[in-house]
Chains A and B, each alone.
Chain A
Amino acid sequence: MRPTATSTAAGAVGRKPALGAATERLEGRDKVTGTARYATEQPHTAPDCAYAWPVPATVAAGRVTAVDASAALALPGTLAVLTPDNAPRVGESDDPILRVLQDHEVPHRGWFVALAVADTLENARAAAAAVTVSYEVRPHDAVLREDHPDAYVPETANGHPGRRERGDAREAFAAAPVRVETSYTIPPLHNHPMEPHASYARWDGDHLTVYDSSQGAHPVRTALAGLFGLEPGRITVVSEHVGGGFGSKGTPRPHVVLAAMAARHTGRPVKLALPRGQMAHVVGYRSPTLHRLRLGAERDGTLTSVEHEMTAQTSRIKEFVEHGAVAARVMYAVPHSLTTHRAVRLDVPSPSWMRAPGEAPSMYALESAMDELATELGMDPIELRLRNEPATEPDSGLPFSSRHLAECLREGARRFGWHQRDPRPGVRREGDVLTGTGVAAATYPVMCDPASASATARPDGTFLVRIDATDIGTGARTVLAQIAADALGVPLDSVAIEIGSTRLPYGPLAGGSAGTASWGWAVHEACTALTRRLADHHGPLPGEGLTAESDTTEAAEATPPFARHAFGASFAEVRVDTVSGEVRVRRMLGVYAAGRILNARTARSQFIGGMTMGLGMALTEHSTSDAAHGGFAERDLASYHVPVNADVPEIDAHWVDEVDTHLNPMGSKGIGEIGIVGTPAAIGNAVHHAIGVRLRELPLTPDKVLAALR
């Protein structure tokens, strides 16, 4: 992509802007040599470090009536067993899942009911296994269904209105000459970052230091401060390198509370890395969602009515409602629209954030339904989408700060060879294999949160930029240094950057594809302020250098009169084996309009990474709510099928130049999540094109495909 010149790149004449370049990750060498240290890998781990191992509840719902730790305490090396009876009391929290071991209730299978602490990892595991927990079991209800009598429409779903209606969608649907009424089902999905949630906690007097695998050190500190009744200044949280999160580390998680409790209780530093088998129940997941859609259109494809109703589950202790019906509020021009979220409280773990929450499920449903409408109309699915491009955001009426979906669709069609496509379904056979192609649109909102940063000019001519940003694999460290270099007008290699610690100026979590915008704005402001200070400064710099700080609270919180979203188009070609029902993707393409792309290399990686997770959502990934026993059946990486290398074909990601002056000084939109959004529908639509049968429940595994082929 051609780097877009902005006022920020005010560098010396002839200096190439750092932004837009395909800069290598600054920490890349540490990661390929194994020297990058993750949460529990600190080189200064104290020799008396203890290990903690949680004990999860083994019933689907009920109460702990007794915890017998005597056998565990009798084992060699056991230091303590924390239980609801003896664990340190903690204060209030906005998040009920953090108040672990504070009472005897068991809201779902896998809820932590004890914690073993021992001198070695082996002893901690053995001690946890030796803890005997007795329960009073109550009947449970752990499976979501649409006709559940307890279903309700929440006021809001993750901040979005629970229900929105414009016009009279039902009447318009009834009157529409062309109608599609359909339903889609998405199973529970788990984030499963490669690094399990983990903490190393240490108390030095009344100062708590935690190295935590988290998407945001400051939010973890805020939570710990409330729970342990400490001034935030007495807590240090470090998240320097984080082995992925995808939303599951976006909020503080119970392991960090347990680690801090165990360290306080034993007086020793404590390492706690969650066993993979415990994660499915305690670190969040994407709720299963059940979708009903009704699309009404004129014969020329003009939409007259859209209804999208989604039903999701939440837990008994916390309301988290996946906002899986929001896409229709953004996507297409339509005079009549009704979008509704429904929730059911069940005896299940609390669902939480997973990559492109809301957009990923809602766009799977909407874009699959649009494909059905195109088929019904006998119209090319790209033409159908172009026919319904809105002039303003349908729900709010606000103008878009920028919207280049049409360009993405057209550019993608050109690159993918869409126009040679034979629209007839089920006719391309290569031996036992049927092939097909599909397309879907993608969208993801632009968000930005307040942040602070500091920038220091050092006497040796280099610069230091400090901000509590988190690099969970996005390349944040690198792109922030690029932003700083351009704002300072200096070469990238003269900029050092420190991130990932509450010792640094406040930055929000890495989430909502908002990190770079939020942190980058603060970095940009600090660096431009420093540039002004340097211009006013005469003579050599003082020993401590010159520092400027920024705080973007006012700017970031100002609501501009624009609807701000990234858009994209996803294309997929699939091969369906008619003997086994196995579906494999042959190639995928994503074309995105996501503002200015700040680092071509890491951006491409983010896009293809999101698309890969979308491939998993379409074809391989699912968790099963265990109706009989509660919890999820798939709790390990052998049964929860994250795509492997062999599942992932040629993937290409491109972007269109997009200049948007209504965002932030960099002109950037988030890119971490939009890759997953259009992919499942594109693949599902391609499977329909291949086999001529519409499958409406993910993932498209051999059982379902084979049934459709028979």
Chain B
Amino acid sequence: MSTGTGSGTSSWVTMTVNGVEYRRELDNRTTVLDLLREHLGLTGAKKGCDHGQCGACTVLVDGRRANSCLLPAVAQDGAEVTTVEGLAAGDELHPVQQAFLDRDAFQCGYCTPGQLCSAVGVFAEAAAGHPSHVTDPGRASGQGPVELSRAEIRERMSGNLCRCGAYPNIVAAIEDVTR
């Protein structure tokens, strides 16, 4: 079975964002980021570079962090997306949101939604035992979760630029959540 007509340049796309299902006819060129920001009014995910080079647009797609600026929405038909607006449970902040507040882990706030979604992704990746560039290469697979040392946090969060230079506070905030 094939999806898409091949000739039309727009498609109907269904996507669940923060638990709400949306169905929209979209220009095939529309990225998930632009869908969120320009069509759904969810401006939490930010556009910093639009080329996957800053991480401000990071959201969770089916539970994994991704740069939403590089995802054509049409190719994510059926996906479940979580943005920064979907991290808190009602008025109760996600622990990493609270930790960012406690540690002053942001200044201008523009990279923050991406940092937060990225951090949530990092927790899952580390829990699943995924190694990083700084994980001891001698650590065999199947040894359970990777402990998030500061070096691990720094490396794993390096896809999210912060020009204000809040990195030490971001690391401290993420460390707080892992404790």
Chain A residues with a Cβ under 8 A of chain B: 24-25, 27-38, 41, 43, 120-123, 126, 191-196, 241-244, 246, 273, 275-277, 472-475, 601-602, 604-606, 608-613, 636-638, 642-646, 648, 650-651
Contacts and interface: CB of A to CB of B under 8 A. Distances in A.
Given A120-B27, A196-B48, A243-B46, A648 B111 contact: no
Given A32-B106, A193-B108, A602-B104, A648 B167 contact: yes
Interface in B141-175: 153-155, 157-171
B45 interface: yes
A425 to B, nearest CB: 28
B41 to A, nearest CB: 7
Given A638-B53, A644-B161, A35 B44 contact: yes
Contact of A244 (B29, B45, B84, B107): B107
A608 B161 CA distance: 15
A193 B110 contact: yes
Contact of A276 (B49, B85, B101, B109): B49
15 contacts: A32-B93, A120-B27, A123-B27, A196-B47, A244-B108, A276-B51, A276-B53, A473-B108, A605-B169, A608-B166, A611-B165, A612-B167, A643-B165, A646-B155, A648-B154
Nearest to A472: B108
B11 interface: no
B106 to A, nearest CB: 6
Contacts of A610: 165
Contacts of B87: 33
Given A195-B110, A276-B54, A645-B162, 16 more contacts: A28-B106, A32-B100, A32-B112, A32-B116, A33-B93, A34-B42, A120-B38, A194-B164, A243-B110, A604-B104, A611-B165, A613-B163, A637-B49, A637-B54, A644-B159, A645-B167
Contacts of A35: 44, 85
Nearest to A43: B41
A636 B161 CA distance: 13
Closest 6 CB pairs of A and B: A34-B44, A243-B110, A612-B165, A473-B108, A473-B107, A31-B109
A35 B53 CA distance: 23
B110 A33 contact: no
A25 B154 CA distance: 24
A195 B162 CA distance: 10
B56 A194 contact: yes
Contact of A648 (B50, B107, B165): B165
B171 A195 contact: no
B88 interface: yes
Contacts of A43: 41
Contact of B43 (A37, A277, A644, A648): A37
A275 B51 CA distance: 10
A379 B157 CA distance: 41
Interface residues of B, number: 59
Contacts of A193: 108, 110, 163
A606 B170 CA distance: 14
B76 interface: no
Nearest to A125: B29
Contacts of A192: 163
Nearest to A126: B29
Given A195-B46, A602-B104, A605-B169, A33 B109 contact: no
Contacts of A604: 104
Q: Is the interface of B mostly helix, strand, loop or mixed?
A: loop
B107 A606 contact: yes
A242 B107 CA distance: 10
Nearest to B117: A34
Contacts of B169: 605, 608
B30 A650 contact: no
B47 A273 contact: yes
Given A29-B101, A651-B168, A243 B109 contact: yes
A194 B108 contact: yes
A696 to B, nearest CB: 25
Contacts of B88: 33
B83 interface: yes
Contacts of B48: 194-196, 243, 276, 637
Interface in B40-86: 41-51, 53-54, 56, 83-85
A598 B111 CA distance: 25
A99 B87 CA distance: 44
Contacts of B110: 38, 193-195, 243-244
Contacts of A651: 168
Contacts of A606: 107
A393 to B, nearest CB: 30
Nearest to A22: B104
Contact of A243 (B108, B155, B165, B170): B108
Nearest to B114: A194
Given A472-B108, A636-B53, A646 B43 contact: no
Contacts of A273: 47
A605 B104 contact: yes
A611 B104 CA distance: 16
A608 B29 CA distance: 40
Contact of B109 (A120, A473, A648): A473
A98 B163 CA distance: 26
A204 B72 CA distance: 35
B127 to A, nearest CB: 20
A489 B168 CA distance: 34
Contacts of A602: 104, 107
B52 to A, nearest CB: 8
Contact of A474 (B107, B167, B168): B107
A122 B30 contact: yes
A36 B109 contact: yes
Of A43, A606, A646, A651, chain B has the most CB atoms within 10 Å of the CB of: A646
A220 B11 CA distance: 41
A250 B155 CA distance: 33
B101 A194 contact: no
Contacts of A24: 101-102, 104
A602 B87 CA distance: 25
B84 A34 contact: yes
Contacts of B47: 196, 273
A194 B54 contact: yes
Contacts of B166: 605, 608-609
Contacts of A194: 46, 48, 54, 56, 108, 110-111, 161-164
B156 to A, nearest CB: 8
Given A605-B169, A642-B161, A475 B51 contact: no
B112 to A, nearest CB: 5
Nearest to B29: A122
